[in-house]
Structures are given as C-alpha cells and as structure tokens.
Structure 1
Amino acid sequence: MTMSQSPDIGAHVSTLMKPFLACPAKTGQKKTDLRNFHKATRVIDYCYSSESEQKNIIMKININNRSYEAVVGERLIDVARKNHTHIGYFCGGNGLCQTCYVRVNKGMDLLSPLSDREKALLSDTLIKEGTRVACLTTLDKPGTLELLTTVEEVKRMVESRPQDIVAYQAKMGWEALIKFPDTVTMQARRFAEGKLDTWELVTDVITAIGDAIALTVRTLQHGWDPSEPGKTFKRQYAHEHNLEQNAIEQASLTKKEPAEKQNLPEALRIDQKAPVN
C-alpha cells in the first residue's frame, strides 16, 4: 500500500513535517534541514505555541562573553540593563543617544527585522558589519545569541590596542555623519507625532544615570561579575616558603655585632666600658 492510497498515513506524515514546512519564516529553519532532529523540539514547541506562550520562552544570550537568560520579546537593551552589562543607554532606551549599539556575532536571524528607525540611525556599512541598536531591537525567536556592545569594544581596544582608537572614532563619526540628515528627520517626526513623551524621556534619563552610578559602584566593589571574586595581588619573596631559611635570615638581621666589627667611623664608636653620666 502506497502513501497516496492511505490518506491517514499521508496526513500523519504531513502533521509531523508541518513544523519544518510551515514555520521556517518564523523559526529561521531551512525547509529541507532535517538534521539534528533531537534538537528540533524547541522549534516545534515554538511553532505550535500561542503568542503569549512564545513570549515566555527562555533563551540564552551572550553579551560581552557573559551568558544570560532572556525571554522572547524582550528588547536587547532591557536584557543588558537588568543583568548590569556594560552597555550605553544615556537616553534611557528611547533611541536618542545612539550609545547602545551592539555587534551581532551570532544569531542575527533571531532578532526582529531592521525597522525604519534603525535604518535612519545605521549606515549601510554598520548594517553589513552586523550592528544593531539595542533599544530598537527585540528577541524575535528562540536560540543562542552572541553580542558585543560598542562601549565594551572601545574599552577592550583602549586596554589592548590603544593605537587603533583614533581610527575607530573617526570611522564611527563618519558613519554617524552620513546618516545625520536621516536621523534628524526621524527624530523630528517622532516629536511632531507625539511619539516621544518629554516627561518620560527625562525620567528615563535620570533612571539611566542612576543605573550607571550603581553599576560603577558595583564594578569598583566586585568587578563586572559580583559572583566572581576579584583577583588579589600577593607579594612573593624568594624564601617565603622556607621557614627555616626565614628564621636564619631573621636571626642574622637582629644579631648585634660588636662595635669593632661594625662599619662605623672611628669618631662615632663608643667604648663599651665607658661610663654613662
């Protein structure tokens, strides 16, 4: 009996194949990619889950070489802020300061598509390099994501390759200048359409400043990750591990030498039997 002669078997196979045939645009999976079937459970669950259930799906996100958990639907800026990650957000996540740029090293297909607002901020060069605006980008699909924030990239460059910082700043300044007309037009339209609440903006900026201060204090106390104890410096001595040698050295330092053996000028030497008035 062939599959065409048995509607029940055909329907059953069609149901099994549905996640791979009907959901590739939503999950980023290739229609013909049936490898690693045991890893497809999460994809199948996502395809058949409701929109509210999709928002609660936990995924892994790696920011600046540190792993965190995030929920589908969250903005990148919110994930970074709640985990106290090194990222810029002076405007409080309102898409004004342009300091929350991130470079996506892995998982670009898991993010929301580029919006018109992002296209108004990012040059074609930055887009090709995988740059996204964290406050305008959301986690769209489950998976593993790897990001590097621009401010962290600059920090590492200053620490390891300070000679490159001038060229980097010149490049970023030029890319911003190219998009300056589009950026101004987009922001003006937002104000004109009332999509940017001034009071909310001020509140967000104040909150962002407070978060930055708290992060600075936390970093000074614990480093970037409070769970990891900071490295302490301990001075090492040549014979620190040899207690017997230490005792000999200590005795030689405290032993009193006779005056005649001390390397003192004759005028400063005192007779041991001289009376003391």
Structure 2
Amino acid sequence: MVQVEINDESTDAKLGERIVTIARRNAAHIGFYCDGSGICTMCECKVLSGADQLNEPTEVEHTWLTDARLAQGYRLGCQAALRGTGPVQVLTRAEEMRRQCDAVLNPPAGTNAADHLAGLLENIAAINWQHIGRWPFNLLSSINRIGLYSVLWPVTNLNQLIDDTVRVTQRLLNTEPKDQPPSA
C-alpha cells in the first residue's frame, strides 16, 4: 500500500490508482464532473510532495494546464497515477480555494482580508487563463480525443456524481464519519 495525503488527511492507496479515485473514495474535497476524461479540470490539485511517485504529466494535462502551473506542481487528479511506493501529499484545487476564501472572509489573527485577497485572485486568474489562453485548441484536442458527445455531456454515471457530491458535502459539514465508504 502507498500512503497518500489529500487535504491533510492520510489514506492508503494502491499502485496505479489515480488521485481523483483515491479522493472520491475518501470523500475528499475535490472536483470530479467529467468522470476522469480530463476535460473539466475540476480535479486539479497541487502536489506538495512525492511528485516523483506519480506518472509524468500526460498529454491531457499538457493540453489543459499551463507550463507555469505544471512547474508549480499542479496536476489533474484524473491523470496523476501512483507509480512509486513512497508517500504523496496533495492539496486539491477545490480545497485550496476554499481555504483561500476562508482566509479572506475570516482572516487569521494578525492579518486582514486584503492580506489574503491577492493570493486568491492570482489563483482564480491562473485557472481561468488555463482555459481562455489555450482556447480553442484545448477544446478541439479534447473533442478529437474523446468525441463531441463526451465533451458536451462528460458525466457517465449521474447517480454516482450525485452520491459523491453529497458525501463530500456531508464530510465538509462534518455530518458523516470519515471512514464511511461510498455507497455502491
């Protein structure tokens, strides 16, 4: 088993598993709209340590993530798979932005909202630039790779998407035990 820490919570994982699969199984705060086809980029995460334990960035990641984001350690959770047995630590984009928003709305002692606003705005701008700055080639590449229908409706299992969304929301609201497995 491989030790993976997602959003400051450790869990066991198997070689070959993708970060998004591990996160969904553990109801971690991560986006997962496109079911791993690599077109929504909601599962973007920052690899804080253990990048050498993951596969190299895929063509999909090079299509959607800027070179600057890749250099900063950002990966798509649906593309980043465990290849080594060493520990891996990631912070999902959803959780990173939740924390940044929280710091703006509820500044830590000794700071004010303005101290944290720039980081949040920089992150929002970088995420948007990934899509706008690469338009329309990122979309055309995805259509070529998975087909127009899959780009227009990427959800392959709507019930699972709803179930996962409810589990993540319950966990964020602390209404579900951390070790409760996803429903089948």
Q: TM-score range by the shorter chain?
A: 0.7 to 0.9
1:221 Cα offset (Å): 4.6
Q: 2:165 aligns with which of 204, 208, 212?
A: 212
Q: Which amino acid aligns with 1:89?
A: F
* C-alpha distance in structure 1 between counterparts of 2:32 and 2:10, whole Å: 20
Higher helix share: 1
* Amino acid in the other structure paired with 1:63: I
Shift of 1:185: 1.9
Cα deviation, residue 178, structure 1: 1.9
**Structure 1 contact 123–176 (Cα < 8 Å) conserved:** no
Partners of 1:218 and 1:143 lie apart in 2 by: 27
Instruction: Quote the Cα distance in structure 1 between the aligned partners of 2:177 and 2:51.
Output: 26
Contact persistence 2:143–2:151 (CA under 8 A): no
What does residue 108 of structure 1 align with? 51
- For residue 142 of structure 1, give the secondary structure of its aligned residue in structure 2: coil
Equivalent residue letter for 1:61: V
Cα distance 1:86–1:117, how it changes in 2: closer, same or farther (>3 A)?
same
Matched, 1:184 2:139: yes
**Deviation digits for residues 98-128 of structure 1, max 9, x if unmatched?**
1000101111111011111111011011011
| Map of 2:112 onto structure 1 | none
Asked if the contact 2:55–2:80 (Cα under 8 Å) also holds between the matched residues in 1, the reply is yes
Change (3 A) 1:202 1:158: closer
The RMSD of aligned alpha carbons is: 2.6
Percent sequence identity over aligned pairs: 28
Matched residues in 2 for 1:192 and 1:226: separation? 37
Partner-residue secondary structure (3-state), 1:60: strand
Q: Distance in 1 between matches of 2:157 and 2:62?
A: 23
Q: Secondary structure at the match of 2:33?
A: coil
For residue 81 of structure 1, what is the amino acid of its counterpart? Answer: R
Q: 1:158 to 1:223 in 2, by over 3 A?
A: farther
Please give the secondary structure, in 2, of the residue aligned with 1:159.
helix
- 1:91 aligned to 34, 55, 77, which one? 34
- The structure-2 alpha-carbon separation of the partners of 1:153 and 1:190, relative to structure 1 and needing over 3 Å to count, comes to same
Give the SS at the match of 1:210.
helix
With a CA cutoff of 8 Å and minimum separation of 6, indicate the structure with the bigger relative contact order.
Answer: 2
Contact 1:101 1:150 in 2 (8 A): yes
Alignment partner of 1:153 out of 96, 99, 115: 96
Shift of 1:205: 4.1
Length-normalised TM-score, structure 2: 0.80
Partner Cα separation in structure 2 for residue 218 and residue 107 of structure 1? 26
Q: Is the 8 A contact 2:43 2:93 kept in 1?
A: yes
Aligned residues: 168
Cα distance between partner residues in 1 of 2:27 and 2:148: 33
Q: CA deviation at 1:224?
A: 7.9
Letter in 1 for 2:29: H
Distance verdict in 2 for CA 1:141–1:159, change over 3 Å = same
Query: Could you state the TM-score of these two structures normalised by the residue count of structure 1?
Result: 0.55
Q: 1:96 and 1:73, CA in 2 relative to 1: closer, same or farther beyond 3 A?
A: same
Give the Cα–Cα distance (whole angstroms) in 2 for the partners of residues 130 and 88 of structure 1.
Answer: 18
The answer on 1:134 being equivalent to 2:77 is yes
Say if 1:198 and 1:126 are closer, same or farther in 2 by CA, change over 3 A: closer
Unaligned regions of 5+ residues in structure 1, if any? 1-57, 228-277
Checking the alignment, whether the CA contact within 8 Å between 1:91 and 1:205 is kept in structure 2 is no
